[in-house]
């Protein structure tokens, strides 16, 4: 008679949306490391987290009008001396005060959402598939899904 051992491959993560973002950032940090099995689990977890955080992404998406202002700010900041750039950016912000305030309110809503509770099932990264080149710092970022 053959003995079959059940292997748990999923883990329920309960925490805040910020906790999930931290794991997401950790997964991005290690996604270039070698190993087919490791890479598959990392990629699947990234996709799962992106789906779970879609609402935050939607709320935080800047308007087209704001993006135009942001591009102008970047051009000014990269092409002028700091003091002159600051003056022009301040002026641009005053001219577009409503747009800037709307973006600040939007980011405030995102910040509030980050403390919302969430529960998501992620694939476990087994110690056996961890790449030899992974560092302790990288492990610490994804430790919640390593077993």
pLDDT in tens, 63-88: 999 999 999 999 999 998 989 999 99
Cα distance between residue 111 and residue 140, in whole Å: 24
Over residues 38-50, the mean pLDDT reads: 95
**Domain ranges (residues) in the chain:** 10-145
Note whether 146 and 125 are within 8 A (CB). Answer: yes
Global confidence as pTM: 0.79
Phi, psi dihedrals of residue 84, rounded to the nearest 5°: -65, -40
- List, in order, residues 6 or more apart from 80 with CB less than 8 Å away: 88
Q: If pLDDT is split at 50, 70 and 90, which confidence band does 112 have?
A: very high
Decide: 41 and 23 in contact? Cβ < 8 Å: no
Which whole number is the average pLDDT over 41-48? 96
């Amino acid at each position: 008679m053959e003995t079959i051992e059940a292997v748990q491959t999923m883990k329920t993560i309960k925490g805040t949306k910020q906790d999930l973002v931290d794991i997401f950032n950790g997964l991005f940090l290690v996604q270039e490391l070698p190993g087919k099995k490791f890479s598959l689990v990392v990629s699947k977890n990234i996709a799962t987290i992106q789906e779970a955080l879609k609402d935050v992404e939607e709320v935080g998406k800047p308007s087209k009008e704001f993006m135009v202002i942001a591009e102008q700010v970047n051009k000014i900041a990269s092409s002028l001396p700091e003091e002159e750039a600051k003056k022009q950016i301040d002026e641009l912000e005053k001219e577009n005060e409503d747009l800037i305030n709307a973006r600040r309110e939007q980011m405030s809503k995102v910040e509030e959402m980050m403390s919302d509770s969430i529960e998501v099932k992620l694939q476990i990264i087994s110690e056996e598939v961890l790449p030899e080149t992974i560092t302790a710092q990288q492990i610490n970022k994804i430790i919640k899904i390593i077993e």
